[in-house]
Amino acid sequence: MINEDSPIVPLVQSEDVQTAVKTAHALQVGGLSVIEVVLRSQAAMDCLEAIASGASDVIVGAGTVLTANQAEEAISKGAQFIVSPGLNEEVVSHCKAGGINVYPGVVTPSEVQRAWNLGLRTVKFFPAGLSGGVPMLKALSTVFREMRFMPTGGVSAENLQDYLALPSVVACGGSWLTPQKEIDAGNFEAVTGLARDALALARQARS
Ligand code: 3PG
């Protein structure tokens, strides 16, 4: 679900379903079709459902999933993957039992080890910038040689290529592609432009 084919996973956060759908569409037009809807608003589940049912070529997942119940509801609304800020074993086992990919957030070697022991081979590295960024990921990747990471938190157009240059980084997540100011102004072309720019940077970093 999250793999090298989609090196950027934009976050969508919205209080309004139509706005979320337009944001997802703008991202898709810009070439980003794996989208994470974060469960941080009253309308988040409805946004998720609308995006999942409206665009067949978009892969939508739920982010900021803190409990197994939230994971269950998000999956019922069409989430194809689950992302959590931390490592909650209930969320992980619930998703694994249902055959849904799950990417919990980890930072420390002990957390990576726990995730590995739970059978996970791709995890979120969150909050990436504050947790040591690229040097920390390099250190973790040296010892956990088969673990793949999705850094999120503090990733931007400025440092995207540094993260993607690491072989252990499968994709980067972030909200820089969906700036609230542009979305509030209805400037979805700006979102498309940011998506295109980011994709170009990612292709350059991976070439
Ligand atoms: C997340 O939800 O994963 C992070 O809050 C995203 O961090 P960012 O806003 O720095 O991209």
- pLDDT (tens digit per residue) in 5-55: 899 999 999 999 999 999 999 999 999 999 999 999 999 999 999 999 987
DSSP calls for 24-41: HHHHHHTT--EEEEES-S
Cα separation, 112 vs 63, whole angstroms: 19
Pocket test for ligand 1, best of 126, 156, 160, 180 (most atoms within 8 A of CB): 126
Mean pLDDT of 84-93: 98
Q: Is residue 57 predicted with pLDDT exceeding 90?
A: no
CA 207 remoteness from chain centre: 22
User: Could you read off the pLDDT of 138-180 as tens digits, one per residue?
Assistant: 999 999 999 999 999 999 999 999 999 999 999 999 999 999 9
For each of the domains in the chain, give its residue range(s) and CATH number, in order of start: 8-105+156-206 (3.20.20.70)
According to DSSP, the residues that pair with 123 across neighbouring strands are: 149
Pocket test for ligand 1, best of 36, 66, 152 (most atoms within 8 A of CB): 152
Helices (H), 67-187: 68-76, 89-97, 109-117, 133-143, 160-164, 180-184
Query: What proportion of the chain, given as a percentage, has pLDDT over 90?
Result: 95
Cα separation, 10 vs 24, whole angstroms: 9
Mean pLDDT of 44-67: 94
Mean pLDDT of 87-110: 97
Mean pLDDT of 49-71: 94
Q: pTM here?
A: 0.96
